[in-house]
A and B are shown apart, each in its own frame.
Chain A
Amino acid sequence: MSGKNNASVGSRLLDLVRSNAVPIMFIIICAIFIPMSGLSNSYLINEIVTRMGRNLFLVLCLLFPIMAGMGLNFAMTLGAMGAELAIIFVADLQIWGIPGVVLAMILSIPFSAVLGWICGNILNMAKGREMITGYILNFFMGNGVYMMVVLYIMGSIIPIAHASIMLPRGYGIRNTVSLLHMRQCLDDLLAIRVKGVKIPVLTFILIGLLCLFIVWFRRTKLGQDMRAVGQDMEVARAAGIKVDRTRLISIIMSTVFAGFGMVIYLQNMGNLPTYTGHSQIGMFCIAALLIGGASVEKASIGNAFLGVILFHLMFIVAPGAGAYITEDTMVGEYFRVFLSYGVITVALIMYEAKKRMVKSKAGQELAEAQVRAGKEAAK
């Protein structure tokens, strides 16, 4: 009796470990690395809190497309680009402080929405290959269209008033735009200090609002539709749900919220790296979400929180730990890049392998049923 009970506890524990393998692995990595890195606890906590405020909003944006079954939204960078365009205009208008942040968020909506609309339509044309298409789209827009607009059109066709943000040649925006007067104004407004750790309360309130919105949204008609589409497009279509439209909306929502997230991110950083700001965002956010235990088809708010903490902890301590082990800081740098890419790779492989297993199982059952039906008919 007790043996059986033990076994069930054991197997349940095993199940728990198996289903949370990635976060557990990263907890172990962090636990090993923290002492090696030689960084103090208070420094780590401070950094983690700052980075949570900076990145959580962006990571949460990824939840909408996952809900609609469109996988990891590699094209969330489009929202970041929209925010960057908005920030450039706000910097040129010399709107500072909280009003600047609010204005940047509002201005980013049309940019992000248009970009999201384009993205959603393209992804609807590439059903079943959403991720790779979104991934390429992110380069198409980032290294192509965005660069074209900011480097050549701004200042020559779109008027830019202040020479200080423009390149000396008279058109195009500088490599970095200073956001000095917007720097951390959101974080500082209601900030409280607990034992030397600054907690950006207002930023966390915004993140909390987004979480509440997500929870509420899941229960709305549209949210339910989205989940239905995510489960099975054909079934959803048969049930009268406008599949393409639902998918489009999920991408637009993700992009627009990513724009807000990017504004939060940039006000924390205090300057805008004009041409490189968005390039890593998608990859980092996706890696963080996956490290938090999410998969391509299922992700929760909890995954986002845990993921951001673990990912950034790993990111902070890896160089120091790498230097400790190999006496070469660069190894640590590459190691954390390797881990980020590795976790995305593994998550993608697990997702595809599982999808294929389910498919072949269904096929087998169908074949068996047919054989059985054939036998019945023969009788």
Chain B
Amino acid sequence: MRSKRRMLFPALTVLILVVIAAWMLVIGRGHEIYLDNKTLEGYQGQDYKAFERVVVTVKDKQVAKLGKRERGAAIWIGQDFKMTLEITEKKGDEPVVKEVSIKLPYDMDGIIINLPAYLAGLPEEAWLTEFVPAPEEPEEEELPGEGDVFGMEGDLGLEGELDAGDM
């Protein structure tokens, strides 16, 4: 009886930790979101015009003021992306405030959202594209343990640079 209880406690702890970890995986996924105020041309034979001006607010923080053909960026943790848009459709119009909530795909790091297409209520494939960062110039990095001709360096972790900022 006692040994059973003894087994139960660690098993329960592990289980709880696994559950928390899984939960964190779900709620903690971070995304970089790029918001485009661009005209979507020729989608099923129709154009969706860019707005004159869009002010994007995420979590009470204004992240972008977009004119035509402009792109703004925001970061978001989790899948339920919420933002407030203040849209001026044409010059001279009164701005319209809209609360928007978008379900983000889990496996995309960078997401481009075309605002005019989205607000026109088109299907997802029309307004959502993945952002692929341009391949960086490969830079030479000095790696530990390479290019070390004499094989005797860095054995004791006491290198010259004991930076105060490191600690």
Contacts and interface: CB of A to CB of B under 8 A. Distances in A.
> Do A and B come into direct contact in the complex, CB within 8 Å?
yes
Interface of A: 51, 54-55, 93-100, 102-103, 106-107, 109, 139, 142-143, 147, 151, 162-164, 167-168, 172, 174-175, 181, 273, 275-276, 279-280, 283-284, 312, 315-316, 319, 333, 336-337
B162 to A, nearest CB: 5
Contacts of B75: 96, 181
Contact of B21 (A103, A167, A168, A333): A103
Contacts of A94: 29-31, 109
B103 to A, nearest CB: 17
A174 B141 contact: yes
B154 interface: yes
B142 interface: yes
Contacts of B77: 96-97, 99, 181
A323 to B, nearest CB: 13
A103 B133 CA distance: 26
Q: Which 6 A-B pairs have the closest CB atoms?
A: A99-B28, A96-B30, A168-B138, A279-B157, A95-B28, A99-B24
Given A96-B77, A181-B75, A103 B167 contact: no
A147 B28 contact: no
A316 B109 CA distance: 39
Nearest to B76: A96
Contacts of B94: none
B122 interface: no
Nearest to A138: B157
The range of chain B's interface size is: 20 to 34
Contact of B139 (A106, A163, A168, A315): A168
Contacts of B139: 168
B143 interface: yes
A276 B136 CA distance: 24
Contacts of A98: 28
Given A97-B30, A164-B133, A55 B167 contact: yes
A142 B30 contact: no
A275 B162 contact: no
A139 B25 contact: no
B17 A109 contact: yes
Interface in B126-162: 133, 135-136, 138-139, 141-145, 154-159, 162
Contacts of A336: 162
A95 B24 contact: yes
Nearest to B165: A269
B8 interface: no
Most buried by B among A51, A96, A151, A283: A96
A336 B166 CA distance: 14
Interface in B90-139: 109, 133, 135-136, 138-139
B154 A175 contact: no
Nearest to A93: B25
Given A94-B29, A147-B145, A175-B142, 18 more contacts: A54-B167, A55-B167, A93-B29, A94-B31, A94-B109, A96-B28, A96-B29, A96-B30, A99-B27, A99-B77, A100-B24, A109-B17, A139-B155, A151-B144, A174-B141, A273-B166, A284-B167, A337-B162
